[in-house]
Amino acid sequence: MKNELFRQLPKVDILMKNTLLKDLSLTLDYNSFYEIVTKVIDSFRSKIKNSEIESFTEEEIIKDIISLAKKSEERNFKNVVNGTGVILHTNLGRSIFNERVAEKLKAIVTGYSNLEFDLSTGGRGSRYQLLEEIICKVTGAEGAMLVNNNAAAVILCLNEFAKNKKTIVSRGELVEIGGSFRIPEIMELSGTILKEVGTTNKTNIRDYERAIEEDTGVLLKVHTSNYKIIGFTDSVNKNEIAQLGKKNNIITIDDIGSGVLIDYEKYGLSKEPTVQESLKSGINIVTFSGDKMLGGAQCGIIVGKKELIERLKKNPFTRAFRVDKMSIAVMEEIFRYYLDEKKAINEIPVLKMLTEKPEKTNIRAEKLKGLLKERGIETRVIKTEALVGGGAMPDEKIRSYGIAFKNDIHSLEERFRKCETPIIGRTKENMFILDLKAIREEEFQYIVEEAERIIL
């Protein structure tokens, strides 16, 4: 029986000439086409050997070839629909951009640009100058520059201002950020010497004063944006750090992490320190991320005293950490929005999601429920709690709404996740939930079509 099945397997070169595979032969290069056909034939040969099949047709082999070819053309880096309720989902790419930003990015990457060309003189320019003026205008800083992420910003600053010197930090601020990177390790990499002061829950200004020595290079404050300590606590505010640094002629740095430029408290969210507040406190240098609550591209932004920023631009690490043209293009548009707070809220997707009233989210949930019902798919709208994500505001719960499916939830989760454009939700209390907080209306039709294919 097996020998007969083996003899029925078509030869690779003959199968490649089959008229049903003509489209593939025209779209794929010869080697890729040959490899796919060979893999499928080998797969059937293995099934025969292991008694997994008792018969097959050439049409079945061709179907598998077409399926494998389609899969081989899929990209590993894909768009997904974010139904998790986490706005700045680190695993799903954090910030998203609007159409205007995307158009600017497209123009930059499909053509040449003045990345390091001074249009006024015709000579070589600096990529840092392209954004410095607009960042300073928005934040009130004297100088500004970008590097490829906030960890790089901290390393660069500590290397420049405290290499082989001590950097004083409160024990309560020695945080671990995403990917198991820890502040002490980042400091070690920069070449500075960590000097811990205070305790995990209590540090006061006297702790800093007593720790200052002749070889102290920096007083560093780190915003604990990804966790909270409550109860018997005390910490030193930025004004005190700034005054102590000025008194002792020591550079002060504030790593505020998420990069907040507006007061979220007036939009019903918890108070987060803003870049402007840090600078007004007298802190010399402030570092923060571009792709978190700021709503931009992945980068680290450094603002502060002009003479200190100029020193950073000349540091050897700057070359290794420099930001690319795509990030510069995105961040110019983002900072221009921030010239008008109302415009920023309306045009930057992350800010719009963060400040959207629950009633509006509920309306969108009801609309999606209705579209699904038209296709014969029953769901219900439920109250949910969305999260900021991205290591920001860990205890902030944002009122939201989602649609809940009650079919085989684990099967649904997997099948939605394996769509051509994956739809990522969450399971809870025997329900598969798509939270509407980060789902856009233009994604509704796709969700409905895939739900119909998966469920009905």
Q: Domain of 341: which CATH number?
A: 3.40.640.10
One domain for residues 323 and 397: no
Mean per-residue pLDDT, 2-22: 92
Lowest mean pLDDT among 119-123, 180-184, 268-272: 180-184
Strands 285-289 and 300-304: antiparallel
One domain for residues 200 and 321: yes
Mean per-residue pLDDT, 122-149: 96
Q: What is the residue range of 382's domain?
A: 81-90+354-455
User: What's the mean per-residue pLDDT of the chain?
Assistant: 93
How far is the C-alpha of 288 from the C-alpha of 105, rounded, in Å? 22
Q: How confident is the model at residue 88 (pLDDT cuts 50, 70, 90)?
A: very high
Lowest mean pLDDT among 148-157, 262-271, 440-449: 262-271
One domain for residues 39 and 108: no
One domain for residues 62 and 161: no
Please say if the pLDDT value at position 296 is more than 90: yes
One domain for residues 191 and 338: yes
Mean per-residue pLDDT, 51-80: 92
One domain for residues 332 and 387: no
Please say if the pLDDT value at position 164 is more than 60: yes
One domain for residues 364 and 282: no
One domain for residues 229 and 374: no
Mean per-residue pLDDT, 272-301: 96
**Of the candidates 321, 347, 373, which is a domain's last residue?**
347
How far is the C-alpha of 68 from the C-alpha of 380, rounded, in Å? 37
pLDDT at 342: 96
In tens, the pLDDT along 366-407 reads: 999 999 999 999 999 999 999 998 777 877 899 999 999 987
Q: Is the Cβ–Cβ distance between 417 and 341 less than 8 Å?
A: no
pLDDT at 228: 65
pLDDT at 68: 94
**Of the candidates 317, 347, 377, which is a domain's last residue?**
347
One domain for residues 377 and 237: no
Does 212 reside within a domain? yes
Mean per-residue pLDDT, 426-437: 94
Does 76 reside within a domain? no
Using alpha carbons, select from 167, 158, 261 the residue that is nearest to residue 208: 167
Please say if the pLDDT value at position 179 is more than 80: no
Please say if the pLDDT value at position 276 is more than 80: yes
Mean per-residue pLDDT, 441-445: 97
One domain for residues 223 and 343: yes
Share of the chain above pLDDT 90, in %: 84
* Rg from Cα positions in the chain: 28
DSSP 356-397: --HHHHHHHHHHHHHHHHHTT---EEEEEEEEEETTEEEEEE
Split into its structural domains, the chain has a count of 3
CATH at residue 435:
3.90.1150.180
In tens, the pLDDT along 31-44 reads: 999 999 999 999 99
Q: Is the Cβ–Cβ distance between 278 and 253 less than 8 Å?
A: no
One domain for residues 372 and 337: no
In tens, the pLDDT along 70-83 reads: 888 888 999 999 99
**Of the candidates 347, 365, 394, which is a domain's last residue?**
347
pTM score over 0.85 = yes
The secondary structure of the chain in percent helix, strand, coil, rounded to multiples of 5, reads: 50, 20, 30
One domain for residues 57 and 9: yes
